[in-house]
A and B are shown apart, each in its own frame.
Chain A
Amino acid sequence: MDREREFAKLLAEAPRRGMTRRDLLRRVGLGAGAASLTAFLAACGISKEDTTTEEGEKNTLTTTEEVGNLNFANWPLYIDRSQGTRPTIDDFTEATGITVNYKEVIDDNEGFFGTIQEPLSNDQAVEWDMIVVTDWMIAKMARLGYLEELDHEQLPNFTANAGAIYKDPGYDPGNKYSVPWQSGITGVAYNPELTGRELTSFDDLFDPAFAGKVGMFKEMRDTISLTMLSMGVEPSESTEDDLVAAQQKLLQQRDDGIVRNYYGNEYADALVRGDIWATMAWSGDVFQLQFDQPELQFYVPDTGGILWVDNMAIPDNAAAPIDAMRFMDYVYDPEVAAQITAWVNYICPVPAAQEILASAKDKYTQTVANSPLVFPTPEMEANLHHYKDLDEDEEARWNDLFGEIIQG
């Protein structure tokens, strides 16, 4: 009861916190370039031998006891904040006695991977007990033997409360190595005042009428997968021919002068500035942008969108695996999940959180609860697809062909 009241109070504060996640994003986005450089430097050291995938090596946890301290690497602005504190982290410490060293050090999957790849490939521990990376990176790291297996007996909340589409996902069968943190949709966002008409399909991004005003992603999986879907191909079942065809379509779009640029996170600023009229987009960002610019629209293309999932996982040889699992389970308590989602605004893996948010008194929280960008409607969910799980050779091939598009 007490917790509920506390939580309601916190939610009530939300609109006058004065600083939205979007504001913060604007401020911290500056660090991204610098962070990739660090990752680049870290990636320069190359191991000659990779020992972790050798047969016969037993992958066991370093400890079966709680350590009392958790080193947690996450993305910027990916957990609730209130007046300089992180309520969920503080509550967790209060409930379990485990202190959390929470660092927002992940700016992109590949850059972060570059910083931990060297020790992991030498079967050494990294400084993190828990990390959050996107589904395909989970698959890649699991394949390389870089992740600890989860003990699902320690995760009763996950079993009880996780949404059906988050259990036993294709990228990590049986949630052997990971449980979802938040997820989102890759679709299309546009400004109807600039496009002058309603958009519904992915091919609208190929309309010559918008020449020079279209944004595409430099995230290879997103761009290629949505393009494949627009050509009637299910990414997970795609062949080499489908890949080449998708590349041709994207090259054509570029050479026709339709694409203004291939963007990372900065697409949102370009959309707000009006530099681009229509662009590939991530659902959570658009939800935030709509507070400033209600006219902005987000849709899942009629040919299909991508549901991506960021997951919590434990790097190999982590010092505090049990503490990490306690945290994983803690955030699957619907109230905790609601508290995080109210602030983060990405898609929550706990459906029960929607009711909790909807019962809040303030308008902001109700907007979150009722937004299809945070809790997608069943029709939207039915039209969402997943990335293809690429093996190493495929990934190299996809990257090669995609590189020709964005690095002209």
Chain B
Amino acid sequence: MAGEGRRKLTPYLLTLPGVGFLVVFFAIPMATVFSVSFQEGSLSQGFTFTGHWQNYTDTLARYDTQLIRSLMVGLIVTIMTLVISYPMMYWIAFRGGRRKNIYLLLILLPFFTPFLIRTLMWKTIFADEGILLGFLKDVGLVSDSYQVLATMTAVISGMVYNFLPFMALPLYVSLEKMDPRLLDAAADLYSSKRQAFLKVTLPLSYPGLFAGSLLTFIPAVGDPINPELLGGVNTTMIGQVVQREMLTNNAYPRGSAISFMLMAVILIGVFLYARVLGTEEMTG
């Protein structure tokens, strides 16, 4: 019957805007980049598809240091945001009481300022003779040649600062919806506080932890802005490499190849991570 046929189609029709969006803004660009990554040529002669897979091996050989560095930085940033935000969010979710929303707002407040401005302010704060280091040097707490800017420390700190909400908010959501009476129940069953945390609270926060880690790790690995603004000599990350290959060298095939490699590495990492944490927890 016609009515039934339409009813069968309805779910598909409902997904149409979403699918259309993905095709136009994800599938087609991805296919283009993938195709470009196998092309050869130059700006004046145009680029043609020749199946030039050496784009991958050449760039990997050239930029392996930067790729590994980016993955390491992504990992460190993820762990640091986790270590910082977990206790914070735990406290707000379980001890925040009626002021939970105010505390959350306080955490988000700095992020109402644009990303670029916040990061540039760091340059003023951490200048060699600036308000912070200048003072520390005057009182003799650090040596005169000590610097924060243009070092890996600055890059990682900047990222931890900038990506904190991406970790904190998913954690908060999963902790907040946990029923506190579960902890009472655990205590009734003679569990210590530590055991209750490890066997009840932590597993229940896995979905938030999983989502938060991905939301932090993936952008952190590819981020060109923090290393560009806060980094210096020998702190180059893969996002900057892609930017330079694309914009300065106009070497679109090489830039595309690096982008694809980065994506593959991240996908594999995420897959392994999901296997370890378990897909059930992943979806909550």
List residues of chain A with CB under 8 Å of any chain B CB. 30, 33-34, 36, 39-40, 43-50, 53, 110-111, 114, 117, 121, 143-144, 212, 220, 254, 259-262, 269, 273-275, 392-393, 396, 399-400, 403, 406-408
Contact = CB atoms under 8 A, between A and B. Distances in A.
Nearest to A407: B236
A220 B249 CA distance: 11
A281 B44 CA distance: 32
A396 B243 CA distance: 15
A273 B225 contact: no
13 contacts: A33-B225, A40-B247, A43-B247, A45-B32, A49-B46, A110-B248, A220-B248, A254-B234, A259-B233, A392-B42, A392-B43, A392-B44, A393-B42
A143 B251 contact: no
Interface in B5-41: 29, 32-33, 36, 39
A53 B44 contact: yes
Contact of A273 (B44, B47, B128, B251): B128
Nearest to A144: B44
Contacts of B32: 44-46
Contacts of B157: none
B236 A408 contact: yes
Given A53-B44, A273-B123, 14 more contacts: A30-B117, A33-B225, A33-B228, A45-B32, A49-B46, A50-B43, A50-B46, A121-B46, A143-B44, A273-B124, A273-B128, A275-B150, A396-B42, A408-B233
A77 to B, nearest CB: 18
B247 to A, nearest CB: 5
A199 to B, nearest CB: 20
A34 B127 contact: no
Contact of A48 (B29, B46, B150, B246): B46
A393 B252 CA distance: 15
A114 B250 CA distance: 9
Interface in B107-161: 116-117, 120, 123-124, 127-130, 145, 147, 149-150
Nearest to B47: A46
A39 B228 CA distance: 16
Nearest to A403: B244
Given A260-B232, A392-B44, A407-B66, A44 B29 contact: yes
Given A43-B252, A114-B247, A275 B47 contact: no
A17 to B, nearest CB: 25
Interface residues of B, number: 46
A108 to B, nearest CB: 9
Given A212-B147, A269-B123, A36 B247 contact: yes
Contacts of B168: none
A262 B44 CA distance: 29
A34 to B, nearest CB: 6
B57 interface: no
A407 B127 contact: no
Contact of A40 (B48, B241, B243): B243
A33 B223 CA distance: 12
B42 A399 contact: no
Contacts of B48: 48
Contact of B145 (A43, A212, A259): A212
A143 B117 CA distance: 39
A396 B249 contact: yes
A39 B46 contact: no
Contacts of B229: 33
A273 B120 contact: no
B283 interface: no
Contacts of A33: 116, 225, 228-229
Given A273-B129, A275-B128, A34 B116 contact: yes
Nearest to A211: B145
A30 B116 contact: yes
B158 to A, nearest CB: 13
Contacts of B231: 261
Interface string B56-91: 000000000110000000000000000000000000
A110 B65 CA distance: 26
Contact of B44 (A40, A50, A220, A269): A50
Given A46-B36, A273-B128, A275-B149, A399 B248 contact: yes
B107 to A, nearest CB: 24
Contacts of A45: 32
Contacts of B145: 212
A31 B255 CA distance: 24
